[in-house]
Homo-oligomer: A and B are copies of this chain.
Amino acid sequence: MSKVKVGIIGAGRIGKLHAENLVKLHRVELKAISDIFAEQVREWAGSIGIPHVTDDYKEILQDPDIEAVLICSPTDTHVPIITEAARAGKHIFCEKPISFQLEQTREALEVVKEAGVKFQVGFCRRFDHSLKKAHQTVKEGGIGEPHILRITSRDPHPPGKDYVAASGGLFFDMAIHDFDMARYLVGSEVEEVFAQGAVLVDPLFAECGDVDTAITTLRFKNGAIGVIDNSRKAVYGYDQRVEVLGAKGCVTVSNVTPTTAEISTAEGVFRDKPKYFFLERYNEAFIQEIADFIDSILFDKEVPVSGHDGFQAELIAMAAKKSFAENRPVKLEEISAVQSV
């Protein structure tokens, strides 16, 4: 069986994660990784058998042997790299969000389309067994027409100030996964958004013009309504639950715990907190997401998460941001209108 030759651009936490998953896939050859701090990753790269490390991502794009790239660099570099990679004929896996500027996202997607390469966005949660089952249940009519969507998505602790300042804000950095999940679960586009936010966890969010706590309500084109609650700090761990109520039933996904051990004492019954954070909870989903991307190349299949999916999630994030700023419901078409100017 032929192997897909891959390069990774960006060796931060997420780039390394993908690298470690890729080297275990028999149908992949991970040829190179680039990072602006190449020296700092050289030893790690060697230990898992990546033959080439560079501080210039262009080397990867120019390597005619490499068929596909994973873009794991900072968000503000995504659009230029996507553009170059697509023009170089590389299939592209890009971490979310594609960009903070919808117009730029759209332009990048157009270049991708012209180039005819595969393009997948890193919404890893779609590959989680439980969330996939919820999606399938709704899709196959298992709960009838969807009426109410509920997502709870909370981090175990807030990131540092540097991260927050560059993150694009809670709606773009954190809730964007939930906006994608909302579309994925309900199977309909979002029409209108109302977002409430608050700074309750740490004043640093206010200093960065951001919030750390939010409730976003969504109105879908198919008539369903939904709500997402986000917090940057759930002291008991990464809280990831979804629920869709429909005309004929309700599907819920609850948290995953490291063990099923339960201890009963005179004080009460104690069990594990949820798995610590996204690396633990979505560990298998990250593996599956990359395996599916590789398969879409090998067998020329559609990618499971398209550029359209990336764009729509950003559109909702933009509407949420505007809604919060203006304390009023915002229609997605208002955003598109602004953008198309």
Contacts and interface: CB of A to CB of B under 8 A. Distances in A.
Interface of A: 1, 24, 26, 47-49, 129-130, 132-134, 137, 142-143, 145, 147-148, 150, 152, 154, 194, 196-198, 200-201, 213-215, 217, 219, 223-227, 229, 231, 233-237, 239, 245, 247-256, 258-273, 327-329
Contacts of A201: 147, 247
Contacts of A196: 194, 217, 219, 225
Contacts of A214: 225
Most buried by B among A150, A215, A269, A328: A269
B273 A270 contact: no
Nearest to A328: B328
A226 B1 CA distance: 52
25 contacts: A1-B47, A129-B258, A142-B263, A148-B213, A148-B229, A150-B229, A194-B217, A196-B225, A198-B219, A198-B224, A200-B223, A200-B247, A215-B226, A234-B264, A235-B247, A236-B249, A237-B264, A249-B264, A250-B265, A251-B261, A253-B262, A254-B260, A254-B262, A267-B270, A269-B272
> Chain copies in the assembly?
4
A248 B272 contact: no
A210 to B, nearest CB: 15
Contacts of A256: 260
A265 B235 contact: yes
B129 A259 contact: yes
Contacts of A254: 260, 262
A214 B227 CA distance: 11
A268 B273 CA distance: 5
A286 B298 CA distance: 30
Contacts of A265: 142-143, 235-236, 248-250
Nearest to A25: B24
